Structure 1
Amino acid sequence: MPEITYVRGDATAPQGKGVKLVAHVCNDLGGWGKGFVLALSRRWPEPEAAYRRWHRERADNDFGLGAVQFVQVQPHLWVANMVGQRGMRTGSKGVPVRYEAIDTALGAVADRAEELGASVHMPRIGCGLAGGRWSRIEPLVEQRLSRRGIPVTVYDIG
């Protein structure tokens, strides 16, 4: 089983050869304006535009916790918009991160990565503004991706 590779760097500039899938967590409110999504939008306009359209048309699609939208940004590069947080603020129900939704979304990412023959690249998803703990998310990444033989690289800005 391949281990998760940890590197210092920028997940919007994924390292290595072949097809790559950059996975990150979005909220379920249609908001895109803080955290890792800003770095994504600086590099490519398509993920934000696709996410906003997906949210706007949610009555007619699968938008919601656990859903994933795959957006191609270059011939061998995709972005996975994973809906893994409820709302944007810590409140009476705790932090916005939803581990079950991230788990479900990672399963869909694994399926697409296998179809594409892609490696998966991500920041420490769900651990920034979403308020999650990597100690809870890392086992989900290992179970859903690494155990299926999908190479995963996690980027820490350094």
Structure 2
Amino acid sequence: MTICYTTGDATTPPGTGPRIIAHVCNDVGAWGRGFVMALSMRGPEPEAAFRAWHRNRASNDFALGALQLVPVHDNLWVANMIGQRGIRRTGGQPPVRYEAIDQALGRLGGEAVRLGAAVHMPRIGCGLASGRWEDIEPLLKKQLTARGIDVTVYDLPA
């Protein structure tokens, strides 16, 4: 399997088969900027689930590297992956945490195989988290395409 790059909207992946929209979240429970705004415009489920997950974090797995798979429609899920420490640079370091993204993608890979789902995403970790795609792409190959999962990465039209 390979990664397919396309121009379009990652919140509306084509097809009718099982699909997962994956994105990176922060570990402080903030939801309100970047790709999540486009997700929230499509429906309330991902945001509501993320906020409840954060609110109840004392009794669940909410932490860097965790994955929350949220059903939104028949054969469509959103994967909230915690791969960002905070929401701002601290000590000159960007919020992105590659090890956490790697762990979350590993969990996502297991779920995608179980569901027989393709994975769709923007360039995760490279927006507000300030990550580098050259460091993210190898993680996708290791955790997803190497397991036979189709991955589509979306860039917005210029």
Common topology (TM > 0.5): yes
Structure 2 equivalent of residue 115 of structure 1: 114
Show the 5 A alignment for 1:43-54: 43-54=42-53
TM-score, with structure 2 as normaliser: 0.98
Q: Deviations over 1:38-64 (max 9, x none)?
A: 000000100000000000000000000
SS of the residue corresponding to residue 49 of structure 2 reads helix
Structure 1 residue runs of 4 or more that deviate by more than 6 Å after TM superposition:
none
Structure 2 equivalent of residue 34 of structure 1: 33
Structure 2 equivalent of residue 153 of structure 1: 152
Counterpart Cα distance in 2 of 1:73 and 1:91: 34
Structure 1 equivalent of residue 67 of structure 2: 68
Structure 2 equivalent of residue 138 of structure 1: 137
Q: Partner amino acid for 2:69?
A: F
Runs (5+) with no aligned partner, structure 2: none
Q: Partner amino acid for 1:33?
A: G
Percent identical residues: 63
Q: Partner amino acid for 2:10?
A: A
Q: Deviations over 1:51-87 (max 9, x none)?
A: 0000000000000000000000001100000000000
Counterpart Cα distance in 1 of 2:99 and 2:24: 13
Q: How many residues align?
A: 157
Q: Partner amino acid for 2:43?
A: W
Query: Are 2:9 and 1:3 aligned?
Result: no
1:93 positional shift = 5.0
Runs (5+) with no aligned partner, structure 1: none
Evaluate the alpha carbon distance shift between residue 93 and residue 57 of structure 1 in structure 2; reply closer, same or farther with a 3 A threshold: farther
Q: Deviations over 1:76-123 (max 9, x none)?
A: 100000000000001215000000000000001000001100000000
| Contact 2:16/2:75 (8 A) holds in 1 | no
Q: Partner amino acid for 1:96?
A: P
Q: Partner amino acid for 1:157?
A: L
Q: Partner amino acid for 2:3?
A: I
TM-score, with structure 1 as normaliser: 0.98
Q: Deviations over 1:100-155 (max 9, x none)?
A: 00000000100000110000000000000000000000000011000010000000
SS of the residue corresponding to residue 15 of structure 2 reads coil
| Contact 2:24/2:82 (8 A) holds in 1 | yes
Structure 1 equivalent of residue 21 of structure 2: 22
SS of the residue corresponding to residue 7 of structure 1 reads strand
SS of the residue corresponding to residue 87 of structure 1 reads coil
The RMSD of aligned alpha carbons is: 0.7
